[in-house]
């Protein structure tokens, strides 16, 4: 086996394709790339938190069902964040960004725990409402 020198016509010596997260492509807020999924999850998170804050101020018979539904939706939002974190972990791992992969995996796991805790709270609130 002899080592070949790169030539202009040899495709194997071409540079690797550019990363999708390379600065300059797309819209960024600081180092964070703005994607439709991130926008929807941020709007859903703040909207649900505002709804839960409103549900805490209501003092009538509809307070517990409002809190239960808000907790269920908040659980869905956090599980969406967990899935997005898992997807980001997979991409970062494939691209060799180990620190980012670890941070996304940790954040996704914490989001999953919060999401399942919200579902548990929604179930308890629904059981209290039925009693």
CA distances to 62, 67, 89, 93, 98 from 20, in Å: 47, 40, 14, 14, 16
**pLDDT tens for residues 86-96?**
999 999 999 99
- Domain extents in the chain: 36-130
| Burial status of residue 74 (CB atoms within 10 A of its CB: 0-12, 13-18, 19 or more) | buried
pLDDT, mean of residues 31-60: 94
- Mean residue pLDDT of the chain comes to 88
Least confident of 25-29, 44-48, 88-92: 25-29
The closest of 112, 110, 125 to 70, measured between CA atoms, is 125
Contact assessment for residue 118 and residue 86, using Cβ atoms and an 8 Å cutoff? no
The closest of 25, 39, 37 to 87, measured between CA atoms, is 37
């Amino acid at each position: 086996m002899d080592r070949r020198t790169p030539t202009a016509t040899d495709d194997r010596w071409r540079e690797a394709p550019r990363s999708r997260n390379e600065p300059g492509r797309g819209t960024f807020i600081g180092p964070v790339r703005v994607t439709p999924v991130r926008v929807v999850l941020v709007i859903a998170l703040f909207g649900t938190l505002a709804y839960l804050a409103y549900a805490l101020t209501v003092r009538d018979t509809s307070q517990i069902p409002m809190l239960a539904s808000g907790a269920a939706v908040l659980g869905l939002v956090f599980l969406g964040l967990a899935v997005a974190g898992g997807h980001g972990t997979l991409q970062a791992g494939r691209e060799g960004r180990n620190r980012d992969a670890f941070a996304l995996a940790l954040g996704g796991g914490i989001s999953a725990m919060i999401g399942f805790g919200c579902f548990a709270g929604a179930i308890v609130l629904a059981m209290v409402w039925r009693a």
